[in-house]
Amino acid sequence: MNSETFINAITAYFVIVDPIGAALIFHSLTSTYEKKFAIHMAIRITLISLTIVLLFGSFGEFILLKLGITIEAIKVSGGLLLFYTAFRMIAKKEITEDQPEEKDDISVYPMSIPLIAGPGCLTLTILLFSEAHSPSQLFSLIVAVIIIFSLTLIAFIFSNSLHAIIRKTGDDILKRLLGIILAALSVQFIADGIKQIAG
């Protein structure tokens, strides 16, 4: 175990994945689901995101080079998808008793891609894994990724409790605020991608 690599990786992934923020978004998207189905979604989201990150860390740079796809292009496309999700969070109407309760599978989109294993996370993954020049560094990265996604799964499972604590500030305000933050983040992804492509 390389302690420096581990600390750097776990700090960076905690910031970019943001387990608590992701859990609040997860709650806003699953608040009408049954508890069992919500937990099922939480597990699927975590496993899918973890698999994407580990595969991308191992083969991402090579595959992108072969396909001629740049990280900048991923930033733009991921930002557009993220903006669509943010718009839905801000504008969607509350479900009432007269409206059918639909259980959408959110495990791939929008939770895994582009929210958790999105452009920022995948870019970070390529950078960190490309700098792992020894087995101990690679092992440290993998352990850090597993720990962060385990924390994210725990946050998802207890998202109701997290939401209950924050509910004092107003559920409706929080949901819209998160949507605005997501919209701003998506625009930043798009702007960075376009800037880097133009530059």
Tell me the pLDDT tens digit for each residue of 6-30: 998 998 898 888 898 899 889 988 9
**CA–CA distance, 46 with 150 (Å, rounded to integer):** 8
Kindly give, in sequence order, each residue whose CB lies less than 8 Å from that of residue 174, ignoring residues fewer than 6 positions away.
Answer: 24, 166, 167
Residue 95 has pLDDT above 50, yes or no: no
For 120-150, b where at least 16 C-beta lie within 10 A, e where not — what string? bbbbbbbebbeebeeeebbebbbbbbeebbe
Residue 52 has pLDDT above 70, yes or no: yes
Q: Which two tokens stand for residue 125?
A: 């993954």
Total domain count for the chain?
1
Q: What is the pTM of this model?
A: 0.72
Residue 144 has pLDDT above 70, yes or no: yes
Average pLDDT, the chain: 83
**Which amino acid makes up residue 135?**
P
**Which amino acid makes up residue 37?**
F
Cα radius of gyration (the chain): 17
Kindly give, in sequence order, each residue whose CB lies less than 8 Å from that of residue 79, ignoring residues fewer than 6 positions away.
Answer: 114, 119, 186, 187, 188, 189, 190, 193
Specify the pLDDT at position 15.
80
User: Which domain range does residue 17 map to?
Assistant: 3-198
Q: Name the region of 94 (left: φ>0; alpha: ψ -120 to 50; beta: rest).
A: beta
Specify the pLDDT at position 79.
77
